[in-house]
Amino acid sequence: MPRMRRNDMEKIDKHLISWASILDEKTREQAITTAKLPFVYPHIALMPDAHLGKGATVGSVIPTLGAVIPAAVGVDIGCGMIAVRTQFTLADLPADRVSVREAIERAVPLSPGRYNRKVVATAEPRVAELVELVERRGFDPASYARNWPLQLGTLGGGNHFVELSVDEADDVWAFLHSGSRGVGNKIAQHHIAVATRLCKQWWIDLPDPDLAYLVEGTDEFRRYIAELTWAQRFAALNREEMMDRVLRQVGEWVGTPVVEAERINCHHNFTKKEKHFGKQVWVSRKGAIEADDGRLGVIPGSMGTASYVVRGKGNPVALNSSPHGAGREYSRSAARRAFTLEQLREAMAGIEFRDDEAFVDEIPQAYKPIDRVMADAADLVEVRTTLRQLVNVKGQ
């Protein structure tokens, strides 16, 4: 059963501080194990949406001195959210939402292994920017994925999605979640394997082999950071490209081109160098967003629940971070055993979505309640806008 507590910060030990009021024992133990690594400084910040991950906990902020753990960044480098507030209100939208869902599904390739047939005009300058970055960093992403330019503007599967939502004022938002796709995954997997090999070569005794790390100053470290930062940029541009396509479909659906009132794009799987508690550290956010004082971010709920535009509070103990979403309570296989398509239909009442058994593992009940996660995050962010879903698009 989940461990329950009041919605306040918990100091689990001197190197691990948690904001999660729902925290199962395996996740807690995994975070404790990671926090014992000698180069963690000053402490790991466990976010309210924390759940078990590969090596390091999803929903954790891991500051390290002189080293980075590739698995603590994750295999979907640069995964994150983008949200756009349009000029439309709910009253402007046609009653038929099936047509816009199907139009978005045609415009954005969905599901793992699904990519573009060609580099379209809007993607050309973004691909050109990524080519220029490659030349500066001195590596070839085609060695990981020959078709990487065709991956730009594609969604993927799992918990990645496109949504149309409305806020408290009935303003219409477009909202999507995706990362660096197959090329980013292969970059991550390569460097996780390199770190594992080096730690074995150096006879480093790790509490978990997935906590293998790269040491700052080495060629392997420099290559990882160069390729990781490229993949982070790929992920951000991937979201921009998809959002432009989605907005075109929305404009055609309504009969008027979209005028953007606001655009927010933020990572939640990444690492960067920052200063905390007097030292320069590598901060790896695995399922967490930056929440500096005043910084805007986007925190999605699960399929069928509320999502939030937030403003960071710059909490120094949390390393200026906040949760990235609801956080799973059921694994995908457990969710498929526990829930039914009929229950998913009930949870999605009033929301246009593709009615398919394949999405049962994304049912809201498979995740922590997003209102509980946001209550736990009250010291990390303030909610600026609450979004209610109208249309949901997912890949299988």
Residues with catalytic function: 324
Measure the CA–CA gap between 63 and 108, rounded to whole angstroms: 36
CA 16-19-24 angle, 5° bins? 80
DSSP-based helix, strand, coil % in the chain, nearest 5: 35, 30, 35
Q: In angstroms, what CA-CA distances link 300 with 309, 358, 378?
A: 9, 20, 16
Task: List Cβ neighbours of 368 (8 Å cut-off, separation of 6 or more).
Answer: 22, 48, 49, 51, 326, 327, 328, 329
Contacts by residues 131-135 (CB-CB < 8 Å, ≥ 24 positions apart): 133/230, 133/233, 134/230
272 DSSP β-pair partners? 283
Measure the CA–CA gap between 90 and 12, rounded to whole angstroms: 45
| Cβ atoms 306, 168 nearer than 8 A | no
Q: Which two tokens stand for residue 10?
A: 């918990």
- Convert 336-367 to b/e letters by CB count within 10 Å (16 or more is b): beebeeeebeebbeebbbbeeeebbbbbbebb
| Cβ atoms 286, 9 nearer than 8 A | no
